[in-house]
Structure 1
Amino acid sequence: MKQYNTRAIMASLLICGFVGMFSETALNIAISNLMDVFHISAATAQWLTTGFLLTLGILMPTTGLLLQWFTTRQLFIGSVMSSIAGTLIAALAFKFEMLMVARVLQAAGMGLLIPLMFNTILVVYPPEKRGAAMGFVGLVIMFAPATGPTVAGLLIEYLSWHYIFWLSLPFLVIGLFVGLKYLENVTNVTKPRIDLQSVALSTIGFGGLVFGFSKAGEGAEGWTSAVVITSIVIGLIALTLFILRQMFMREPMMNLRVFKYPMFIVGLLLVLSCMMIILSSMIILPMYLQNGMRLSAFTAGLMLLPGSALNGLLSPRMGRLFDRYGPKWLVIPGLVIVAAMLWFFSGITTASSIAFIVALHIGLMVGISMVWMPSQTNGLNQLPPELYPHGTAVMNTLQQVAGAVGTAIAISILTKGMEKYLHNSPTPNNLAEKANAMTFASQNVFMFAMIVTLIGLAMAFFIRRVVVKHAAMNPSH
């Protein structure tokens, strides 16, 4: 197998990935600030997040194809340049539309970079070292979004939201230069035929679903809104046609043969349940801390930092444990810990101590780190090398959909729960009652996340360690 400068290759990919993921969540804390600055409604501001997710949902399914059409370096340069352009425009933005364009460019950069990162690891690392390498990706995917809100809270308090992007820019430029110097082309460019019908169907299908679910979590009408129902129905129809088309094509855009591999399916389902658990609980917890417990955005960000940081830092360690012992001994105990933490979370009140909530959040994040990377690596390991681009495309695309679904369900449970509580309250406008309504509704969301966890736990009993028989790819140059 060819020797690569794996450290330098990983460094360039991880620096750029970190900055991309950081700015994704950093802006969430700034949303209320941006509503004041640009004089926009919450529904309009929400587009900064929805637009980002939508771009990812549309781009991710095509990455399997792009990885076969362009060299590693071409894709890397394209994705980082898109991120740099987006970050620069965002740093200079003086109106909402400019910031919106910037977000789409940033999302396009991330949508290419994340699958490229997974695919490169599968090629340059032998199977017995992949767990640790995937763990470092886990560090980026979990640690960057975790530091986002805390750093952004500080920047907004003392400078302005523009500095979120000014801070990110130099790191992207450094990542680009490291990549230009050390990143090699690690895949074969086969240039399969591009089927425009498949591209159109996947765009409408995945785009419709992500858009529909994102909208469901926004308005007062929620799931009953005509826009939500229409876009989800159109999305599902397009997706069904897309799947049928892929099954009968000689060179499909997204090769669904990956679903012939049982451990890939188990790994995928576990990753999707992790995504739903983390997004549903992580969107509600900061809201609860700010609106239920009346803490500042910065304090809420600080409270969530230890758990998220620990999750990131443990990821490479879990990867090494996976390399040594396989997935079962990590995944099953991990899900048991997650279920236990969510059970305690479903009982928190405004009287719960800050230390107790921080401890629960740490436990939750440690549990997730035991499940996520081992399931993902084990699932991808079962695929033959020619299906790596398709496997990473399927996993990354469905994660975006699961994220949008988890968020939408969480927000609608929260809204309905608060409405129900305040409807039965004699003093619905009382501040204390509003905090109680927030508590009651948040408990319901944590119960939902716990049910998802228990379903995941049932699936985890089917996970088996994959013994990789195929030799690692030997890329031609």
Structure 2
Amino acid sequence: MTSPAPSTAADAAVEPTRERTPPVVGLLVLATFIVILNETIMINAIPRLMADFAVTENAAQWLSTAFMLTMASVIPVTGWFLQRVTTRAAYTTAMAVFCTGTALAAAAPAFEVLLAARIIQAAGTAVMMPLLMTTLMTVVPQHDRGRVMGNVTLAMSVAPAMGPAVSGVVLSLGSWRLIFLFVLPIALVITWSGLKRLENVGETRPGSVDWFSVGIAAFGFGGLVYGLSQLGEGNVVRAVVIILAGVASIAVFVARQQWLQRHGVPLMDLRVLRQRTYALALCLMSVAFMAMLGSMILLPLYLQNLRDLTPLQTGLLVMPGGLAMGLLGPSVGRAFDRFGGRPLVIPGSIGIVAALSAMTQVSMTMPYWQLLGAHVLLMISLAAVFTPVFTLGLGALPMHLYSHGSSMLGTLQQVAAAFGTALVITVMTARANGLVDAGSSQLDAALSGLRWAFLVGAVLSVLVVALALVLPGRVPEPAQLESESEPTP
């Protein structure tokens, strides 16, 4: 396929009077939805995997945590990768790697192989997110980004929310392997369709990547989350050492990026943090994902292990929330274009606190309609927060920093989600084990552990409210952004 000149393609895609999502963005949204769905698709299968592979909750949750950490490690490299290859080449690479990991997962004979397959899946997924965001910010004009970002929310936020619901339905048909056998043909069809219709956007240019930064970032973020998970296993001294090593590695990574900004090409250009709006959006999104993914992994454990629901029943219970989030995405985008971010983000952040606070009251007799209502409120509130914050954060950057901004946002979003997952599992396990050692029954201890874990999410969400109150309602003008952040020679 011969691609039109970048300017021509962009101009055609962003014609304001057409009021439609550019075709290239629509294709990437569809592909991104199916790959990001896998971020949380194993959550509902954790109780079954614990039995099939004879592993603990802390070990089983690594099927989700390792996925997120792999994305966090690979996403920084995508800024360099997307500059060197065409849109079609990046798309082909991402989907090929993802499909390979999915096929391996379906045939995995042991837990370790399944974990490796999840890491391969995540490597492909990591390319799709920045590819989608960078393309969107390139071809969509500022006045229409809220509406288009509302559609993109379907992939970036709703897919993780729908993962447990989809897996619940699939698990009702048989083995957990069916999850991957369900995803694989869909991913192959999307890959084939995308290659037939996808056009290149933007221009490639040569560049280099600092592999030391890649390694030290992976070690730092991975060590931080792994160390936290070891606290849940009771290995306090070992956990503290690993956490401190992770923090030290992250400090080295930051220092390295600052040096590379003066003497080379940084893996992550930290100048994006000089934009106050972007920095606030980055913090808000990270904390919100930490609270969301942490609470999402707790619900199947509560519903299946304590309330004896099947995976199908669990999936059906959380499905309305995911659907509500998806249906509201475009409406939230249009509302953002018209009214700005504050009328959406502030009420949405308060709704997150209310929903997670309600989940701290879980018991053996809590009516399912109450839990359903809390989950729907959580998803609706997240929909009201994510679209405006994504748009405000990236829109606050000058064009030459889009790829770095989207990479950093995607990286910290995944690190925060992995950290939140490890944190709530650690709190739940430590609380439950402490109560059992003190003489409480297994049931009472497990319930108390879940309440404490949900409380962690509720406390984190209070910080979301605080950040929402200081987030501006509109993006500055492009000319102002360029003058505030000129590229470093």
Same fold judged by TM-score > 0.5? yes
Taking the aligned partners of 1:30 and 1:285, their CA distance within structure 2 comes to 12
1:307 to 321, 324, 329: 321
Deviation at 1:337, TM superposition (A): 1.6
Q: Which residue of 2 aligns with 1:463?
A: 471
Aligned-pair identity (%)? 35
Residues 77 and 209, structure 2, Cα contact 8 Å, conserved in 1:
no
User: Match for residue 246 of structure 1?
Assistant: 257
Q: Which string of whole-angstrom CA distances, capped at 9 and with x for unpartnered residues, describes residues 231-273 of structure 1?
A: 3222222221221121132422210000110000111111011
Corresponding position of 2:458: 450
**Number of residues of Structure 1 aligned to a counterpart in Structure 2:** 463
**2:241 is aligned with 1:230:** yes
Q: Distance in 2 between matches of 1:174 and 1:369?
A: 28
1:24 pairs with 2:39: yes
Long gaps (5+) in structure 2: 1-6, 14-20, 483-489
CA root-mean-square deviation: 2.5
1:174 and 2:174 aligned: no
Counterpart pick for 1:416 among 407, 411, 430: 430
CA distance in 1, matches of 2:174, 2:481: 49
Give 3-state SS (helix, strand or coil) of 2:40's partner.
helix
How far does residue 103 in structure 1 lie from its aligned partner after superposition? Answer: 1.6
Give the drift of 1:148.
2.8
Which segment drifts farther, 150-159 or 373-382?
150-159
1:268 aligns with 2:282: yes
| 2:313 counterpart SS class | helix
Residue 139 of structure 1: aligned partner = 154
Aligned pair 1:220/2:228, yes or no? Answer: no
Q: 1:229 deviation in Å?
A: 2.7
Question: CA separation in 2, counterparts of 1:284 and 1:472?
Answer: 41
Change (3 A) 1:335 1:146: closer
Q: Conserved in 1, the CA contact under 8 Å of 2:157 and 2:386?
A: no
The corresponding residue for 2:18 is none
Matches within 5 A, 1:7-406: 7-38=22-53, 44-213=59-228, 215-216=229-230, 219-221=232-234, 224-226=236-238, 228-249=239-260, 250=262, 251-406=265-420
Q: CA deviation at 1:225?
A: 4.9
Instruction: Confirm or deny: 8 A CA contact 1:208 1:232 kept in the other structure.
Output: yes
One-letter code of the match for 1:239?
I
CA contact (8 A) 1:350 1:435 kept: no
Task: Within 5 Å, give how 1:420-431 maps onto structure 2.
Answer: 420-425=434-439, 428-429=440-441
Q: Give me the TM-score of the superposition, normalised by structure 1.
A: 0.90
Which whole-Å deviations, capped at 9, do the CAs of 1:102-160 have from their partners, x for residues lacking one? Answer: 22221111011111111111111111211222222221233333333333233333233
In the aligned structure 1, how far is the partner of 2:208 from the partner of 2:102? 33
C-alpha distance in 1, partners of 2:446/2:166?
26
| SS of residue in 1 equivalent to 2:172 | helix
TM-score, normalised to structure 2, is 0.87
Q: Is the 8 A contact 1:123 1:472 kept in 2?
A: no
Contact 1:65 1:254 in 2 (8 A): no
Unaligned runs of 5+ in 1: none
Instruction: Give the conservation status (yes or no) of the 8 Å contact 1:153–1:301.
Output: yes
Mapped to 2, the partners of 1:457 and 1:151 lie a distance apart of: 30
CA contact (8 A) 1:11 1:178 kept: no
Aligned mates of 1:48, 1:404 — CA distance in 2:
11
Task: Name the SS of the counterpart of 1:159 in structure 2.
Answer: coil
Specify whether residues 147 and 216 from structure 1 end up closer, same or farther in structure 2 by C-alpha distance, changes over 3 A only: same
Cα distance in 2, alignment partners of residues 391 and 146 from structure 1: 24
Aligned letter for 2:242? S
Match of 1:435 among 443, 450, 470: 443
- Which digits, 9 at most, give the CA deviation of each residue in 1:328-379, with x for residues without a partner? 1111111112222223322333222111110111111111111122112101
Secondary structure at 2:42's aligned position in 1?
Answer: helix
How many angstroms apart in 1 are the aligned matches of 2:40 and 2:274? 35
